[in-house]
Amino acid sequence: MRCLYRLIILLSCLWHTTCAFAGEIPWQLEADRIVGKKYPGVVEAFGSVLLFKGDDYLQADYARFYPDTHWVYLRGHVKVKWEQDYLQAEEAEFDLKNKVGWLKKGQIFLAREHIYFKGEQLEKTGKNTYKFKEATVTSCDGEHPAWSLKTSEGELTIDGYATLWHPRFQVKNKTILYFPYAIVPVKTKRQSGLLIPQISHSNRLGLNINQPYYQVIDEENDFTIFENYYSQKGVMHGLEFRHTPNLDTKGLWRFDYLKDKKEASETDEDSRFQGDGLIRPNTDRFWLRGKFNGYLFSPEWKTKIDLDLVSDQNYLREFDNGLSGFKRSRKEFLKQFGRDIEDNDDLTRTNTLSLSKTWADPIALGLDARVVYTQNLEYANNNLDPAQNPTLQRLPELNLDIYKTPIAGTPFEFETRNQLVYFWREYGTRGYRVDLHPKISLPIKTDYLTIIPGAGWRQTIYFIDKFENDPAARDTQHRQQSRGIYDLSLSANTELFRVYDLENDVKLEHPGQSEWTKIKHTITPKIDYTYIPEKDQEDLPDFDSVDRIQPEDELTYSLINLFTRRKDTLVADAETNKTIVDKNYLDFLRLKLEQSYDFREARRNRELDNYSRRPFSDLLTDMTLKPEQYLSLTSKTYYSFYLNKITEHEHLVTLSWPQKMSVWFGLDFQEIIDEYKRRRENRIKILNLGSRIDFIPDWRIKLLYRKDLEKEKELSRTIFLTYLHQCFTLDFIFERTDYEERYEIRLNLLNLGSI
């Protein structure tokens, strides 16, 4: 019969007059045989020893406990669990009060970090610290790990680091790399250290090795340093800084600099950069970018910053992949801030600082003050004369808007958009523009129809302080100019629906069984009419689209069909042990038809010999279909009744087998068009194919393919091959475009992402 003994409380009370630990949960001891001796103050346990308190326990074949010092010695098949740590050894000794001790021929498993430490001598020096000699470190399960770090000696701090001396990186117990010293993170929180380098190769840039170093400053700030080697370019230095001082504020800033090995004339450039008339004479190359969301003085004053400055027109197109590339920065900005940056082949880069605030009382009001600087890369590096740069800068821009608000005591609603901008540029007309655009509308709502007529007036005033030509040649009265123009609008819509009951055909008999029980069909017809009279504006400055308001007399009509299904699932209620019906709703089909009629085009008398009147726009068919998880279809098609053919379409079909594979097919097409209102000189037909395969054990395959069907030219072919092991992933990436072949290998060690 096994014995039960309350070690700490009972034995402490036997040897002492008071129980210092009487308020604590006691350790309890079970064993086949227990022997207690008052002198010299020791308790021995033999056979199937179990010492436990709460969820923590110690197991062994033999145990010797010293009540005065609270030390316990264990021998034979030692197994220990303390909090989330698991220890095994042939022999061990611990201080139960301070949780320190040593193990011989033992193993430590940190469950939260999923890291093993195995060695001849392991010492627990504190609650969260260990020392070890001749030890092996790995994240792999099993006796023969796929990879490991074998070290002569080291130290470990939980939620900290493991410091290793003379570590050898091993694959299947065979050494392939040696380091004299290494620091390995053993925590799930942020940690400083060298991140695993990214290695790739392309025929355009050569061998690329990008080694990042990550540094935690404090809970709100950190930065990463990138040393990025290109065999055909040189070494690119990079710095990324992140800060999040509070829930309302965050910033991400990045700077990369490269001293290029060579300049690039028109003939020396990559073939895809030739023919634009621009050269790259600079060898000092950089990209400075960043975004910030925060506030000034109080959270009510929202502050946003967008920074994007680059050294030359080729930089972003050359360095578009990898940790320091354009694609990664763009993806990070979209993910963190929801704001994009210009494409990598755009010759202008926009930089913005904005400050905004909204008020609800007494009226809904919004203020947005900003400065916008646009970098024009055509005028960089003396490609074009900087003194002739006509790029507009908005320094500053003020927007004061009154949102749609009911006018007290009347059925009318009022809103206005007001803007003040000072346009500055190196060459060209400069000056202020005040644009006021108040509108009044009258919503009329009935049980069957909603009609909203509206009218607005646009008053624009210019104060010019420099003309493109000689200022003395202009009459001073032209320095102040104005334009007034009205606009009319009408919007009307209604909604009709019907619910189709399918329950007569549905029988739910078994838990887990699902059936469609109802379908709701909603029809929303809508018309929108806009009228703007023709106004001569040729004498006005031409800063942007606001300065040339185009006349409009157009009616747009649309019909939206929305199908919503209800799916009932029979599920078992664990509390009542009865079956209940779970109802789930999904908009599985949306079909929109839209077309416009241009009354001005119907009345046009110009160039009728060359262009006949075509007042009807193309018919748009916009469809989204997703009846189940395995099928998704999005489609936009524009059909011309004048040409009797499709002028544009965008299709994407996705077929999925959840957690097994998915396949998608996309086709984008644009037809050549030569009409009075629109012209498109080139036919575009782009095929997009992709597949993701997950059903092969331990492997994931992703294939991407893009082709220009019109030119019979492959645009890109990409293969992602990933091996998924329990303790590491290995990625093989191959990408071929019309200008580059790139290879990349990524090795990610589980919970050891920095070395």
Tell me how crowded residue 306 is: count the other CB atoms within 10 A of its CB: 21
The predicted model gives 364-368 an average pLDDT of 95
The reported pLDDT for the residue numbered 19 is 39
Tell me the per-residue pLDDT of 272-295, one tens digit each, with 9 for 90 and over. Answer: 776 677 888 899 999 999 999 999
The backbone torsions φ and ψ at residue 382, rounded to the nearest 5 degrees and listed phi first, read 60, 25
* Bridge partners, 53 (sequence order): 56
Residue with tokens 């606001």: 546
The reported pLDDT for the residue numbered 83 is 79
The answer on pLDDT for 6 being more than 50 is no
- Which candidate, 279, 227, 280, 291, places its Cα nearest to that of 258? 227
The reported pLDDT for the residue numbered 3 is 47
The answer on pLDDT for 21 being more than 60 is no
Tell me the per-residue pLDDT of 503-535, one tens digit each, with 9 for 90 and over. Answer: 665 566 677 788 888 999 999 999 999 999 999
Q: Which one has a higher pLDDT value, 531 or 263?
A: 531
The reported pLDDT for the residue numbered 343 is 94
d(Cα 584, Cα 672) in Å, to the nearest integer? 45
Structure tokens at 630: 């395995």
The answer on pLDDT for 18 being more than 80 is no
The answer on pLDDT for 685 being more than 90 is yes
Q: How confident is the model at residue 268 (pLDDT cuts 50, 70, 90)?
A: low
The reported pLDDT for the residue numbered 20 is 39
Contact 250, 294 (CB under 8 A): yes
d(Cα 211, Cα 230) in Å, to the nearest integer? 12
Tell me the per-residue pLDDT of 149-160, one tens digit each, with 9 for 90 and over. Answer: 888 888 877 767
Q: Which one has a higher pLDDT value, 590 or 180?
A: 590
Contact 263, 283 (CB under 8 A): yes
Q: How confident is the model at residue 492 (pLDDT cuts 50, 70, 90)?
A: very high
Tell me the domain boundaries of the chain: 3-190, 191-346
- Which candidate, 166, 187, 194, places its Cα nearest to that of 178? 166
Alpha carbon separation from 252 to 300, 448, 655 (Å, rounded)? 21, 51, 37
Contact 750, 728 (CB under 8 A): yes
Report CA dihedral (388, 390, 393, 398) to the nearest 10 degrees.
140
| SS3 label, residue 12 | helix
Percent of the chain with pLDDT over 70: 91
Q: How confident is the model at residue 250 (pLDDT cuts 50, 70, 90)?
A: very high
| SS3 label, residue 545 | helix
Spacing of C-alpha 280 from chain mean position: 32
| SS3 label, residue 80 | strand
Q: Which one has a higher pLDDT value, 335 or 505?
A: 335
Spacing of C-alpha 31 from chain mean position: 56
Report which residue type is found at 335. Answer: K
The answer on pLDDT for 755 being more than 50 is no
The reported pLDDT for the residue numbered 667 is 96
Q: Is cis: bond before 40, omega within 30 of 0?
A: yes
The reported pLDDT for the residue numbered 1 is 43
| SS3 label, residue 703 | strand
The reported pLDDT for the residue numbered 372 is 98
Lowest mean pLDDT among 208-212, 320-324, 696-700, 739-743: 739-743
The reported pLDDT for the residue numbered 189 is 65
The reported pLDDT for the residue numbered 209 is 93
Contact 132, 153 (CB under 8 A): yes
Residue with tokens 């060209």: 428
For the chain, the average pLDDT equals: 88
pTM, full prediction: 0.79
The reported pLDDT for the residue numbered 63 is 92
Q: How confident is the model at residue 25 (pLDDT cuts 50, 70, 90)?
A: confident
Report which residue type is found at 705. Answer: Y
Lowest mean pLDDT among 558-567, 574-583, 694-703: 574-583
Q: Which one has a higher pLDDT value, 266 or 444?
A: 444
d(Cα 382, Cα 312) in Å, to the nearest integer? 11
Report which residue type is found at 238. Answer: G
- Helix H or strand E encompassing 44: strand 42-53
The answer on pLDDT for 24 being more than 70 is no
The answer on pLDDT for 471 being more than 70 is no
Contact 488, 533 (CB under 8 A): no
| SS3 label, residue 479 | helix
Alpha carbon separation from 137 to 48, 85, 147, 697 (Å, rounded)? 30, 15, 9, 26
Q: How confident is the model at residue 96 (pLDDT cuts 50, 70, 90)?
A: confident
The reported pLDDT for the residue numbered 286 is 97
Return the top range by mean pLDDT from 148-162, 258-272, 623-637.
623-637
The reported pLDDT for the residue numbered 267 is 66
d(Cα 124, Cα 132) in Å, to the nearest integer? 9
- Which candidate, 239, 214, 218, places its Cα nearest to that of 753? 214
Q: Which residues, 6 or more positions from 530, have their beta carbon under 8 angstroms from its beta carbon?
A: 487, 488, 489, 552, 553, 554
In 442-479, the DSSP E strands lie at 444-445, 450-466
CATH superfamily ID and name for 3-190: Lipopolysaccharide (LPS) transport protein A like domain (2.60.450.10)
Tell me the per-residue pLDDT of 36-88, one tens digit each, with 9 for 90 and over. Answer: 876 677 889 999 999 888 888 999 999 998 877 888 999 999 999 987 788 99
The answer on pLDDT for 421 being more than 60 is yes
- Which candidate, 675, 684, 602, 614, places its Cα nearest to that of 642? 614
The answer on pLDDT for 9 being more than 60 is no
Q: Which one has a higher pLDDT value, 580 or 690?
A: 690
